Structure 1
């Protein structure tokens, strides 16, 4: 095995760094993969009658590791045992530029040929299968720095991307970063890493939206996640079905269909959570100095009139009267 530079893990140092390694043996290949990515097992079905030449060249661009990986026919697996002993959690994209690959994760498999790519995550088992010589661009982000919900990425793993115009545009940007990484200052490199993650999220979201793919689990699970999202965004006056559908990468029609089996529609859920939050704030001594208008705005209501009307419909009492009565009761 020869080393062009001392290898580094994907995120061992900030800024832009580079490491390259080449090996001619299977034994050292597992070590290289672990040093540059995460622990993987390369199976013993590798064609040992042929020269085993494999290489990795990785570059740090802010918090993104951009790598070009080449090797021969093999399968590389991230087993449950390896996940336990090597718990590093990344979101990765693998893009085939030579050969053919199959990526497996979360009960799905993506067949990739040159130009196609797929998302996978390292906190769960996955496997790559290559039936001949191959080259793969691999982009790796720390999972916590990718602005995509867990339910979204679990629905997106092992799905072939890069087959439509948007996917091709995003794929080109990812490929350029891996094959010709720019030499940037730390701030610019971090910004680029974040922007590429956002671009990837756009491609993933449009793919899921087009295929009407819901996150794993029942409609009840999705309703619970939407409820949490609503509670976290009550102050947003634009909160509505369209924004929620975008956040979960589903169509508005699908969102309404999921809530059709629940107790409340999406709009009713938003209204109910806003009014419940407003009632709590009217009772909170810490908010005693706030006007009714300020409380209304903090709960996402456009104005005091609409807030008062909705509050009285829900609780059969005007908010000003409720606040005075509750204050009197608490003082007494």
Structure 2
């Protein structure tokens, strides 16, 4: 990431908050804050004010009398954000009054890395252990209690998910398995997105944002489908999300083709074509377009200037260099070497 700034704001009753350090430009940004620089008596209030502003406004109270410590890292875009950090034990409540005052229309997916927790929303409650996931809705009252530990929170605008609030209601405040299946893949993706990098690179974060959303969509669709609560239209959207996520996860496999995608989802090739037709693509076009897009991003990534064009093409499933060059030129208007020189800041194209 390039560019950085440090901002110190005043907290409740004029007390100083820990400084916000923000880096990045364009689509992705990174913000960090810690309570270490505050006096012990002001740390909890400082963290609470910042957490409410960066995530979702919530009433929070401490659950023990030990010295409070917290550090939080927020990465993402204007739409999708992931917050991760180590926080002392606390209880939180989002009330009707807070919702009337401000509702950002977000879903919050929490990942418990260490420690335990309890989340209640509506008539449902989830007791959480390390590795568990849980979904909550900013538009409904919610209570939570977390022991000291490491947590991650993915904040997702409702408009980005292909489900209605009524459809997702059965999944709120319900333990979702983060150790096996789709949940494990999503958990790993969020771990990589939150992993400290020195320095953090915008390309690393951007590369994981879209897959994180797709995996969340796939996980929710899988959970809803298993309950038989999806309408035919939503089932179609959920299947499309699973197919797209599968393609993105296997782009580097040279054997990825329409037939393998159909087989992985237990549908016919004709059914696969029908599902993808709603997005205006054929199965082969989806695979080809996404592979070319990943190559294009790699060619313009300053951190990958030491990689040859052929190695990039191979990484994303192209086994024939001449074929890749023809496809790239037809899509982006110039050969990959010239494109890299024009957009990646290289003095000479590398083949």
Aligned-residue offset at 1:76: 0.8
Post-superposition Cα deviations, 1:243-287, rounded to whole Å, max 9, x if no partner, equal 48969x9xxxxxxxxxxxxxxxxxxxxxxxxxxxxxxxxxxxxxx
- Structure-1 separation of matches of 2:99 and 2:190: 26
Gaps of 5+ in 1: 216-224, 231-241, 250-332
Q: Does 1:169 align with 2:185?
A: yes
Question: Taking structure 1 as reference, are residues 144 and 179 closer, same or farther at Cα in structure 2, changes over 3 Å only?
Answer: same
Q: Does 1:33 align with 2:48?
A: no
Question: Taking structure 1 as reference, are residues 245 and 4 closer, same or farther at Cα in structure 2, changes over 3 Å only?
Answer: closer
The answer as to whether partners of 1:155 and 1:214 remain within 8 angstroms in 2 is: no
The answer as to whether partners of 2:110 and 2:151 remain within 8 angstroms in 1 is: yes
Work out which of the residue numbers 119, 124, 133 in structure 2 matches 1:103: 119
Q: Does 1:140 align with 2:155?
A: yes
Aligned-residue offset at 1:14: 5.1
Post-superposition Cα deviations, 1:62-84, rounded to whole Å, max 9, x if no partner, equal 63211113222221111111111
The answer as to whether partners of 2:182 and 2:215 remain within 8 angstroms in 1 is: no
- 2:222 — aligned with what? 206
- 2:88 — aligned with what? 72
Aligned-residue offset at 1:213: 5.9
Q: Does 1:47 align with 2:59?
A: no
Q: TM-score by structure 1 length?
A: 0.57
Post-superposition Cα deviations, 1:286-313, rounded to whole Å, max 9, x if no partner, equal xxxxxxxxxxxxxxxxxxxxxxxxxxxx
| DSSP 3-state at the match of 1:136 | strand
- 1:81 — aligned with what? 97
- Structure-2 separation of matches of 1:172 and 1:69: 16
Aligned-residue offset at 1:135: 1.4
* Residues 228-247 of structure 1 mapped to structure 2, 5 A cutoff: 229=233, 243=236
Question: Taking structure 1 as reference, are residues 245 and 35 closer, same or farther at Cα in structure 2, changes over 3 Å only?
Answer: closer
* Residues 214-293 of structure 1 mapped to structure 2, 5 A cutoff: 214=229, 229=233, 243=236
Work out which of the residue numbers 119, 126, 139 in structure 2 matches 1:123: 139
Q: Does 1:194 align with 2:210?
A: yes
The answer as to whether partners of 2:112 and 2:131 remain within 8 angstroms in 1 is: yes
Question: Taking structure 1 as reference, are residues 192 and 147 closer, same or farther at Cα in structure 2, changes over 3 Å only?
Answer: farther
Q: Does 1:150 align with 2:165?
A: yes
The answer as to whether partners of 1:18 and 1:57 remain within 8 angstroms in 2 is: yes
Aligned-residue offset at 1:97: 0.8
- Structure-2 separation of matches of 1:156 and 1:150: 10
Count the aligned residue pairs: 218
| DSSP 3-state at the match of 1:114 | coil
RMSD: 3.3
The answer as to whether partners of 1:147 and 1:197 remain within 8 angstroms in 2 is: no
Aligned-residue offset at 1:199: 1.0
Q: Does 1:22 align with 2:34?
A: yes
Question: Taking structure 1 as reference, are residues 121 and 28 closer, same or farther at Cα in structure 2, changes over 3 Å only?
Answer: same
The answer as to whether partners of 1:42 and 1:75 remain within 8 angstroms in 2 is: yes
- Structure-2 separation of matches of 1:7 and 1:107: 39
Aligned-residue offset at 1:175: 2.0
- 1:159 — aligned with what? 174
Aligned-residue offset at 1:156: 1.7
The answer as to whether partners of 1:167 and 1:203 remain within 8 angstroms in 2 is: yes
